Structure 1
């Protein structure tokens, strides 16, 4: 197999890793392209484990991107939410729940609260199934150090991530109640579907109208949805699609998507997070369908 063919075979997996690391498909694609450029300078015959080397190059490029992103986030206007993807995971009966959930907005937001190396170690080991020896070599740490990173990250994820996501039909029913609240202005039925601790974040990035604080509590969130968004959203231009592996809503203005909404859920199946993305730079790629292999974590157009 040629050097280029090896890279192309690995590209979907590298893209899946880079997007989870960075929360931005544009940055992920740049990181993967940077990986290809560096890979071209490697003498293929001298590489014993090409996949491991490609993973190392891509991971470390992503860590460089995260350093630059941290500086940008300081000046970011309002809450930051990962770039949404319109996904197609198919209907694979062998879906790995943990891998399937590792693409959701709620999960990516959890990763944001880990250190960059914790995030990398956790993804490489728990989502992409890399052996500790390879993770350690990629991050230039000892195996013991990597085990500690993964253990610490896994404890955090387990204590914060829901283990039971409602079915697609149940998610659609929740979104229908959201649409009903927008249309009627009534919060009665919607409030009953929200966890008491629900939070609503809107990411406009200073480029679109958005609230710059996080709303908390079922009463505040349900009233905002019914009373404020009910006046602002064009219900006739709102459609349900799959966003990051879960059912979500997109609002159009003409032929342009101006809002994307996705949800996070509590263990009881109630909505405990509402994510609304309005930053046009983050919505630009949402028209493109991204395929997600839930068994491998790979992403491709």
Structure 2
């Protein structure tokens, strides 16, 4: 195979590898590094001995992500306040048949759920349930027995299903909440907002120690709605920023612009009956630096590309 053909093989796999790496790591910068590391390994491989290029690349990328997760765990011990995955401005299309899979695999709420799995559980679950690999392929990728792989996927699936009902809020429900959120910011009234929050709602803000952000998790509809109306309302309305709607990780969200720079991004998690049970406010400038760049998503394959 020529160098050109070898590169074409890799480039055809790159979007899928990037989709896997981002879901594994919650960081597009780290995901791109993992994919680039995979390319370097591909260039140096004896490709005549590679029987299945897709399986080879998936294995290299997955194991590189597992290495990144080990390093990330050490870094997050010292992270200031809650850690939230890097938000993406997404273009996921509008195929209603794939809305469920799209929302489940890209939303901030789902990525946060994956953080509670072990790295190998996360890898096995994503490869099997999101990227459609067989148990044999997943086992070969993770270099373990097929029986062990089935146990990993089974544990991860039970946890995910117990924590995350497989339902997606309608466009109307998403719009209704964003409208109520903006009304609370502008008027200070929590009447409309409180009715759309689950009793167990949680509010997290990620500033990473680099900008102002509350460093504890707020819980309960009363505390969260009061904080939005009284604190965020003052902060968002007193400044010179403008608020815009944006598709963030496959769902509607809000961004606060301050001049040419995005200062804050808001994304949500919903319950099975359409109430908001999680609010994620990302303020860490390192995580917002590339939010203006649209990332396209193929919901059927899980692929991501710029």
Gaps of 5+ in 1: none
Q: How far did 1:237 drift?
A: 0.1
Which residue number in structure 2 is paired with residue 259 of structure 1?
Answer: 264
Which residue number in structure 2 is paired with residue 239 of structure 1?
Answer: 244
Q: Does 1:134 align with 2:166?
A: no
Q: How far did 1:96 drift?
A: 5.5
Which of 125, 140, 157 matches 2:128?
125
Q: Deviations over 1:195-252 (max 9, x none)?
A: 0000000000000100000000000000000000010014860000100000000001
Q: Does 1:24 align with 2:12?
A: no
Aligned counterparts of 1:102 and 1:219: Cα–Cα separation in 2: 30
Aligned counterparts of 1:36 and 1:164: Cα–Cα separation in 2: 36
Q: How far did 1:175 drift?
A: 0.3
Give the root-mean-square deviation of aligned CA atoms.
Answer: 1.1
Asked whether the 8 Å contact 1:101–1:245 carries over to 2, the reply is no
Pick closer, same or farther for the CA change 1:204–1:38 going to 2, 3 Å: same
Asked whether the 8 Å contact 2:87–2:288 carries over to 1, the reply is yes
Q: Does 1:101 align with 2:104?
A: yes
Which of 112, 116, 119 matches 2:115?
112
Which residue number in structure 1 is paired with residue 201 of structure 2?
Answer: 198
Aligned counterparts of 1:113 and 1:156: Cα–Cα separation in 2: 9
Pick closer, same or farther for the CA change 1:100–1:279 going to 2, 3 Å: same
Aligned counterparts of 1:226 and 1:183: Cα–Cα separation in 2: 8
Aligned counterparts of 2:167 and 2:97: Cα–Cα separation in 1: 17
Gaps of 5+ in 2: none
Spell out the pairing of 1:1-301 with structure 2 (5 A cutoff): 2-95=5-98, 97-234=100-237, 237-301=242-306
Matched pairs, number = 301
Q: How far did 1:163 drift?
A: 2.1
Q: Deviations over 1:110-133 (max 9, x none)?
A: 000000000000000000011111
Aligned counterparts of 1:18 and 1:104: Cα–Cα separation in 2: 15
Q: How far did 1:45 drift?
A: 2.5
Q: How far did 1:164 drift?
A: 2.0
Asked whether the 8 Å contact 2:103–2:168 carries over to 1, the reply is no
Q: Deviations over 1:61-91 (max 9, x none)?
A: 0000000000000000000000000000011
Aligned counterparts of 1:147 and 1:177: Cα–Cα separation in 2: 44
* TM-score (structure 1 length as normaliser): 0.98
Q: How far did 1:170 drift?
A: 2.1
Which 4+ stretches in 1 moved above 6 angstroms? none
Q: Deviations over 1:127-165 (max 9, x none)?
A: 001111111111111000000000000000001113222
Q: How far did 1:59 drift?
A: 0.2
Asked whether the 8 Å contact 2:90–2:248 carries over to 1, the reply is yes
Aligned counterparts of 1:142 and 1:203: Cα–Cα separation in 2: 39
1:95 is paired with a residue whose SS is helix
Aligned counterparts of 2:31 and 2:65: Cα–Cα separation in 1: 8
1:166 is paired with a residue whose SS is coil
Q: How far did 1:172 drift?
A: 1.5
